[in-house]
Structure 1
Amino acid sequence: MMNQALEYVPAPTWTADDDGSVDWVNSRFTACFGQADAVPAQWTQAVHPADTSVAEAAWRQAVASGEPLQVTVRLLVSGGLYRWFRCSARCHVQDGRRRWVGLHIDIDQIRRETELRQASLERMQLERERLRAMFAELPVAVTVYRGREHRIELMNRASIDLLEGRNLEGRTLSEAFPEVVEQGLVAMLDRVLETGETVQQREFPIRFDRSGNGHLELGCFDFSLQLLRDADGTPAGVLSCAVDVTAQVRSRSDLERLAAERAAVLEQLNVGIITTDEQGRIDFVNQRAYELHGVARLDVSPEDYAAAYALLREDDTPYPSEQLPLARAVMHDEHVIDARWKIRRPDGSVITVQGNARPIFDESGTKLGAVLTVHEPHDDLRA
């Protein structure tokens, strides 16, 4: 009666004694493993050699304890191939004799899909570690964002240092820095994923919580965003390479402010001021110097001073540029005091002027340029 009922079980089913000797199988069993005369004397004989010890140990444990058998092994099926099965069996007492009813569930496809997923995960992890090793010591902040939600998959050392030691891998950009959503960064990442376009920014200003204490500070970054693709070409994420240029931007801003302050002060003087860079090229002419010369030409080299500003000796002969006070100061580090020369202005008038020139050095002794002060001899030089 029991065998008749087991015939309708929709899986390979068998019965056996305590020694594992198979004495009955259903039609599903013969369809899967072969004709009845090909059925092994013991169910473990169909197990893959690599799995035999596992199957036999599980069977001995079940027989000894009377507890159900549960083991996953490969079994030889029709056609000479091995497939993965979950094998289970329960003990029943019939006519005072113990008998086992076994069932084989084919899990080969599930098992192989699991193995493929695991292999894929292992390859991804290997690739992640390879990328981490590749980017680890780069002097730029490298971050890999994965998927449409821009989840931070990888940060190199420079990127972590940028955030004062915080590693935010596993969090989305919006979770890590909600304040940047409205500042355009998330939209840039979206654009890269959608179009494949590389985005580059110079001195991009962004307010963000650098240390995670809730305090937003302004940073400026040079960065590029590039599309990352999976092996099949599907857009997978975005690679960000960034350099923090906040200090440089602030320094330049400070220099520009100082230059503006210097220009404002020098414009108020009653004496003409002309300055040069370390190469002697004129980089500043104040209002009074412009009034004296009638021109204010910048980026003029020492060899062109005389021609650019129509400078003459006191005897009205051309003044050799290399002998001019400003040229001597910048080219030979001379301090020239109370020199006199003439200027022929664009309107044709000629005036005599007097001036001093000297080189300019910083605290370390590096020459920064030179400065010329010029005035008409009768000028009241009081500010």
Structure 2
Amino acid sequence: MASSTTLTTIPASLYNTTRGRSHREFTCRSLPSNAGIRSYPNATIRAKLGEKNTLQYRKLGDSDLEISEITLGTMTFGEQNTEKEAHELLSYSFDKGINAIDTAEAYPIPMKKETQGKTDLYIGSWLKSQPRDKVILATKVCGYSERSSYIRDNAKILRVDAANIRESVEKSLKRLNTDYIDLLQIHWPDRFVALFGEFYYDPSKWRPSVPFVEQLRAFKELIDEGKVRYIGVSNETSYGVMEFVHAAKVEGLPKIVSIQNNYSMIVRCRFEVDLVEVCHPKNCNIGLLSYSPLGGGVLSGKYLDANSEAAKKGRLKLFPGYMDRYNKSIAREATIKYVEVAKKHGLSPVELALGFARDRPFMTSSIIGATSLEQLKENIDAFLTTERPLPPQVLADIEDIFKRYRDPAFF
């Protein structure tokens, strides 16, 4: 854990960094006074050679969970990673101070009947040698699906109702080799919402859904039994968050403490324009766990050269059509611009993208995944060796590009 115990308000300019900075009351643990950070004359903004920032820990919403600012994503375990490789990645992460793992009953990705549940099994076998109370284990129950009935014993359609939730949790506990889950999240809503690359809500796709109160009552039963500690949502909207919070307050049911949504330099608007107010500590106090801070790996710049070894080994090449929203023409144009900004300031593209996500005042933890130890080291080092926060001139350049390419992954 970080040695500092004081809390500091982080100043942040979310939109126009050329004007006076606005102050947001999102808090995180402050850096120790001996962090040893300086700027180099050519605008290179790394920590001094041999020195690193301290990994920070933040309170997750209303919970008592002190979660590291990096959460290890595991969706490649069982598809792109063997069990041995998964254990190496897990052990290295925890050696570096990461204390949170994110998985899901649907993993690994891409979803397939033949591999479903392997991710959990790999984590479960690793957990056997770990002190359980030192690990924040987050998993997810599937939302509405007509194509993934194989996940349940006797269901043609997956729903977020009491029966589905209980079956999901019982099976997850068994695979994960544990008797409780720290954070249980709804992977995507039971009702229709625009998902995974869709931008606009289509009113014609409205369908009856499991009432919010009913979902919370099912979670309460599992919390009362000691099988779940806290609950959260994922791929959710402001409407959904507000309904869950309202239902919990009115009915005296457990309140959601987190939201796991997409956030990166090429996917910003959905959270910054709307959800940021809902999740503010003075309002609903919902912690953001952001996924794909590298835009599916695109913001690393590796896909700009389609013939490079890194591109050929990347998931966008291995699984054609998967996450292609991050690499289509407009998103690609934006990525080129961001890579140029990184070069201008002496940063790698990964350092720029993860430094940006790390420093958002509303960010609780960024979920980063890796298919190799080398890749994981690069991602963690991007958090720890890049000046904190990124200097105003870097943020100004990012904002200039954002004004021209607002959420290019959706268009």
TM-score after normalising by structure 1: 0.18
- RCO higher in structure (CA 8 A, sep ≥6): 2
TM-score normalised by length of structure 2: 0.17
